[in-house]
């Protein structure tokens, strides 16, 4: 009976879960055994007929998961159970199965094959997210809103700039993933302590040929296992991506607050229920789920780092942790990427509310603009700051527009005309290079996508 939410189908996508299913894992191990047998034939260690038979039978069509489990129940060794089950279906040629190899040769190389497949799925989802943010950045490059620091109104900005910041963050994650493949997608055939003694003088050639056939990089040197700094780096990268998604989702949640109301994630008003008792609720549940799962993803970093130390050439402390760690990390992040893409594709932007919120402080968010205007007219910057702070506090205390307070101040009026004051108080005139930054970010991203062979024709 399923227990974990991944198993029940609550979390995870079919394409990623499929990669880490038991039968898929068994198939990967069988593929490694077949590739090893082929390589051994190439260097003249085992008969060609035996390698052909092993290659033919190294499939879950012949080696059944139920039989492997039956053998393991008796002998208490998972890889030896796979070896025996494969040898059974290979008949007299079964004696050459697993020749010269140790368990971790098969396990870690099969893991490399899973990583290879899973990273394709993740990169595809990241490309999709990048594309959605590319569209949003461009569409809203001039959409005026208030920027906030410390949860308080700060200065005017554009929504497109916010999205462009997210866009480039995702682009960096794609770069990290692509660059890291040469370290993540590795396999090994080095035997029990890394010496390749079981393969004799042809050990390096056997490893090279096998990995070429499987589409993996051979390790440069190893103990009995692929060194876990590689896995730890990968899990740290996945946690980095998850933390960025957490950041995006948290911002959407914050801007969906009733008091703010500038953004809203998709909500099916015809069928979706927000609360079992409050019919009016429209909750950002998908964004909240992304934030919640990010906590889990960050938590996976610690066991990944803890797996780097190993007694001498290998102990078994990494194994049990990785059975949870690796599938959970990939399946969870893939699901989070699907969720955030769904949220952003259907995101509702309330530009009218953005303008209302922009004016909540009655012009006080333009104090920096006025301060610098005074400085340009000869008032020292620090003195201009002191003057404006006093006027802003007066505006706040008396609940009057800043313009009204400024126009009544002789020190300001002696330096700035009413036209200059109006210009300094105009949020549209104080966006700096916001629009230009968005355009540059979009241009750079489109160029990168084209170099990766990813379409950007939506702009």
Nearest to 444 by CA among 174, 159, 158: 174
Our CA dihedral for 414, 417, 418, 419, rounded to 10 degrees, sits at -160
Q: Determine the Cα–Cα distance for residues 57 and 268; give it in Å rounded to an integer.
A: 50
Nearest to 136 by CA among 449, 442, 455: 442
Our CA dihedral for 414, 419, 424, 426, rounded to 10 degrees, sits at 150
Q: Determine the Cα–Cα distance for residues 239 and 236; give it in Å rounded to an integer.
A: 5
Strand partners, 157: 145
DSSP per position, 244-308:
HHHHHHHHHHHHTSTTT-SEE----TTT--S-SS-TT----HHHHHHHHHHHHHHHTHHHHHHTS
For the chain, the straight-line distance linking the first and the last C-alpha, in angstroms and rounded, comes to 48
Q: Determine the Cα–Cα distance for residues 360 and 371; give it in Å rounded to an integer.
A: 20
**DSSP secondary structure code for residue 428 in this structure:** G
Identify the sign of the CA torsion 442, 129, 229, 110. negative
The percent helix, strand, coil of the chain (3-state, each to 5) is 65, 5, 30
Q: Determine the Cα–Cα distance for residues 150 and 154; give it in Å rounded to an integer.
A: 9
- Residues classed as catalytic: 150, 275
Q: Determine the Cα–Cα distance for residues 206 and 268; give it in Å rounded to an integer.
A: 57
Query: Could you tell me the CA-to-CA distances from 176 to 72, 126, 169, 173, 299 in Å, in that order?
Result: 39, 12, 11, 5, 20
**DSSP secondary structure code for residue 12 in this structure:** S
Q: Determine the Cα–Cα distance for residues 42 and 317; give it in Å rounded to an integer.
A: 36
Q: Tokens 């006025």, residue?
A: 370
According to DSSP, the β-strands at 152-158 and 144-149 are: antiparallel
3-state secondary structure 83-149: HHHHHHHHHHHHHHCCCCCCHHHHHHHHHHHHHHHHHHHHHHHHHHHHHHHHHHHHHCCCCEEEEEE
């Amino acid at each position: 009976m399923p227990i974990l939410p991944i198993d029940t189908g609550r979390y995870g996508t079919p394409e990623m879960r499929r990669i880490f299913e038991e039968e898929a894992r068994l198939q990967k191990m069988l593929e490694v055994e077949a590739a090893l047998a082929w390589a051994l034939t190439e260097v003249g260690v085992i008969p060609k007929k035996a390698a052909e038979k092993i290659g033919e039978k190294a499939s879950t069509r012949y080696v059944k998961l139920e039989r492997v489990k039956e053998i393991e129940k008796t002998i208490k060794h998972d890889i030896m159970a796979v070896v025996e089950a494969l040898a059974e279906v290979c008949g007299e040629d079964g004696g050459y199965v697993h020749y010269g190899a140790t368990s971790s040769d098969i396990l870690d190389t099969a893991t490399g094959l899973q990583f290879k497949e899973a990273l394709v799925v993740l990169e595809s989802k990241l490309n999709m997210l990048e594309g959605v943010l590319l569209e949003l950045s461009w569409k809203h490059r001039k959409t005026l809103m208030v920027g906030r620091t410390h949860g308080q109104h700060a200065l005017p900005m554009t929504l497109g700039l916010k999205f462009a910041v997210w866009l480039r963050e995702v682009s960096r994650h794609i770069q990290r993933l692509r660059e890291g493949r040469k370290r993540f997608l590795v396999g090994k055939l080095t035997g029990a302590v890394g010496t390749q003694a079981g393969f004799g003088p042809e050990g390096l050639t056997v490893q090279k040929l096998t990995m070429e056939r499987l589409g993996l990089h051979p390790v440069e040197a190893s103990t009995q296992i692929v060194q876990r700094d590689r896995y730890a780096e990968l899990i740290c990268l996945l946690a980095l991506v998850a933390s960025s998604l957490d950041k995006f989702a948290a911002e959407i949640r914050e801007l969906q607050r009733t008091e703010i109301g500038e953004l809203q994630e998709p909500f099916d008003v015809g069928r979706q229920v927000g609360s079992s008792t409050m019919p009016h609720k429209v909750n950002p549940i998908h964004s909240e789920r992304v934030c919640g799962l990010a906590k889990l993803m960050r938590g996976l970093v610690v066991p990944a780092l803890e797996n780097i130390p190993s007694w001498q050439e290998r102990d078994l402390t990494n194994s049990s942790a990785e059975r949870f760690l690796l599938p959970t990390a990939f399946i969870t992040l893939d699901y989070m990427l699907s969720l955030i893409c769904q949220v952003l594709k259907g995101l509702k932007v309330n530009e009218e509310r953005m303008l209302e919120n922009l004016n909540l402080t009655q012009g006080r968010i333009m104090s920096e603009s006025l301060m610098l205007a005074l400085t340009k007219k000869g008032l020292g910057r620090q003195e201009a700051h002191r003057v404006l702070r006093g006027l802003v506090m007066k505006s706040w205390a008396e609940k009057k527009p800043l313009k009204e307070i400024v126009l009544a101040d002789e020190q300001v009026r002696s330096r700035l005309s009413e036209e200059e004051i109006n210009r300094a108080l105009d949020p549209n005139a104080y966006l700096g290079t916001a629009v230009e930054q968005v355009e540059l970010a979009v241009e750079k991203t489109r160029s990168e996508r084209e170099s990766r062979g990813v379409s950007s024709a939506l702009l």
